[in-house]
């Protein structure tokens, strides 16, 4: 059986290569196109730096999709996309602009929004990537653009475990604590405005005077990476941090449930080999969904496409 599946996969891969056409090139470029549209719509009216955010992100994902189509290592394209997006978000926004996209920072900016009515760029990131965007692409940000996962995906771990569901509830207190910490700081009189909120005329390309936000950025991200690596080793799963710890994952779950883009069965082709389940980084019972001819509505799906690319009979699209 294994040999048949391996042969089938080889045929599928070769056929896939031959069928490559203009439509597939265009498919890869959709994200770049979206990045260009967002850059022009917000870069010209609000902040020119958006050109250095949305276009590189769109281009990175397009490159990842392109590599995925031509490279036999079926995860390489997405890993490269994650890495390129991470470099842009961490170097340009984090180090050069002193912009912290973590959830704690969002509370400071939300408080600023409540007080002034000004919707700043950290909130724009949240609105697009984590609140409204997931209504369309679910947790696509987790699969293709998260700077925390970018490091975790490269860890040399031989994955062989499913994380028990009860452990994933740890995310709930983590989310509550993540929201409470900045709230307590604000209530205690912490001068978040002068330490975090950038000037109405922000420096470009370097902004170096909001040191408080930069310290939170460094401390927060280093903690996330350390916890992420430890959890990945302990649970033998690169995405253990996403399943167990990441508070942001909970914020995206509701929208992901009803998002437009979902993996779904393609006809009645499933031969129940279980390969999709083995390849799913988020422990979803993909086989069960596809066998029952249901869309994958799990809010854990990060649209990584591993199940699609590894299915020997193209039963998932
Ligand atoms: S769950 Fe959190 S850490 Fe994992 S990819 Fe999504 S946002 Fe990143
Ligand atoms: S969907 Fe594809 S990979 Fe998953 S069990 Fe069915 S045939 Fe196997
Ligand atoms: S269901 Fe498929 S696309 Fe979704 S996370 Fe699992 S492998 Fe990735």
287 lines ligand 2 (CB under 6 A): yes
Do 108 and 176 belong to one domain?
yes
Of 217, 235, 261, which residue is a domain's last?
Answer: 261
> From the alpha carbon of 243, which atom of ligand 1 is closest?
1
In a domain, 317, yes or no: yes
Do 126 and 254 belong to one domain?
yes
pLDDT confidence of residue 68? 83
Do 230 and 274 belong to one domain?
no
pLDDT confidence of residue 17? 44
Do 120 and 181 belong to one domain?
yes
pLDDT confidence of residue 200? 53
Closest ligand, as measured to the CA of 285? 3
pLDDT confidence of residue 74? 67
Do 64 and 111 belong to one domain?
no
pLDDT confidence of residue 99? 86
Instruction: Give the Å distance between the CA of 243 and the centre of ligand 3.
Output: 13
Residue nearest to atom 6 of ligand 2 (CA): 270
Do 275 and 157 belong to one domain?
no
313 lines ligand 2 (CB under 6 A): yes
305 in Cβ contact with 260 (< 8 Å):
no
pLDDT confidence of residue 202? 57
Q: State the pTM of this model.
A: 0.88
pLDDT tens figures, 120-133: 888 988 999 999 99
Residue 96 preceded by cis peptide, ω within 30: no
- Taking alpha carbons only, the member of 93, 78, 172, 84 closest to residue 125 is 93
- Taking alpha carbons only, the member of 124, 115, 97, 126 closest to residue 196 is 97
Q: Is 316 strand, coil or helix?
A: strand
Q: Is 181 strand, coil or helix?
A: helix
Do 119 and 178 belong to one domain?
yes
Do 293 and 171 belong to one domain?
no
CA 121 to chain centre: 18
* Count of the separate structural domains present in the chain: 3
Do 177 and 282 belong to one domain?
no
pLDDT confidence of residue 16? 43
Of 261, 278, 302, which residue is a domain's last?
Answer: 261
| Residues in the chain, pLDDT under 70 | 1-21, 72-74, 199-209
Instruction: Give the Å distance between the CA of 276 and the centre of ligand 1.
Output: 21
Six token digits for residue 139: 């947790």
Do 256 and 272 belong to one domain?
no
Instruction: Give the Å distance between the CA of 113 and the centre of ligand 3.
Output: 36
Q: Which domain holds residue 186?
A: 102-190+209-261
146 lines ligand 1 (CB under 6 A): yes
What one-character DSSP code corresponds to residue 163?
P
Six token digits for residue 224: 């996330």
pLDDT confidence of residue 61? 93
Residue 185: phi and psi, rounded to 5, are -60, -45
CATH number, domain containing residue 292: 3.30.70.20
SS (H, E, C) 52-102: HCHHHHHHHHHHHHHHHHHCCCCCHHHHHHHHHHHHHHHHHHHHHCCCCCC
pLDDT confidence of residue 286? 97
In a domain, 203, yes or no: no
Do 33 and 85 belong to one domain?
yes
């Amino acid at each position: 059986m294994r040999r048949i599946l391996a042969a089938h996969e080889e045929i599928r891969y070769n056929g896939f290569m031959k069928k490559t056409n203009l439509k597939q090139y265009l498919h890869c470029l959709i994200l770049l196109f979206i990045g260009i549209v967002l850059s022009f719509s917000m870069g010209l009216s609000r902040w020119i730096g958006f050109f250095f955010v949305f276009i590189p992100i769109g281009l990175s994902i397009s490159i990842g999709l392109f590599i995925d189509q031509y490279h036999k290592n079926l995860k390489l394209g997405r890993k490269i996309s994650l890495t390129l997006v991470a470099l842009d978000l961490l170097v340009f926004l984090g180090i050069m602009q002193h912009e912290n996209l973590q959830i704690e920072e969002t509370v400071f900016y939300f408080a600023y929004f409540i007080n002034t009515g000004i919707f700043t760029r950290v909130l724009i990131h949240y609105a697009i990537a984590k609140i409204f965007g997931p209504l369309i692409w679910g947790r696509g940000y987790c699969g293709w653009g998260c700077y925390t996962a970018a490091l975790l995906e490269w860890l040399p771990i031989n994955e062989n475990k499913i994380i028990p569901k009860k452990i994933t509830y740890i995310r709930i207190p983590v989310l509550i604590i993540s929201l409470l910490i900045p709230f307590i700081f604000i209530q205690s009189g912490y001068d978040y405005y002068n330490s975090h909120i950038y000037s109405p005329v922000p420096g470009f390309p370097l902004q170096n005077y909001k040191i408080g936000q930069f310290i939170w950025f460094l401390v927060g991200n280093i903690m996330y990476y350390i916890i992420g690596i430890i959890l990945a080793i302990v649970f033998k799963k690169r995405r253990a941090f996403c399943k167990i710890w990441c508070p942001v994952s909970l914020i995206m779950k509701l929208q992901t449930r009803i998002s437009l883009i979902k993996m779904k069965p393609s006809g009645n082709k499933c031969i129940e080999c279980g390969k999709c389940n083995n390849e799913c980084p988020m422990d979803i019972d993909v086989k069960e969904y596809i066998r029952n001819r249901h869309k994958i509505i799990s809010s854990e799906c990060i649209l990584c496409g591993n199940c699609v690319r590894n299915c020997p009979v193209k039963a998932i699209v």
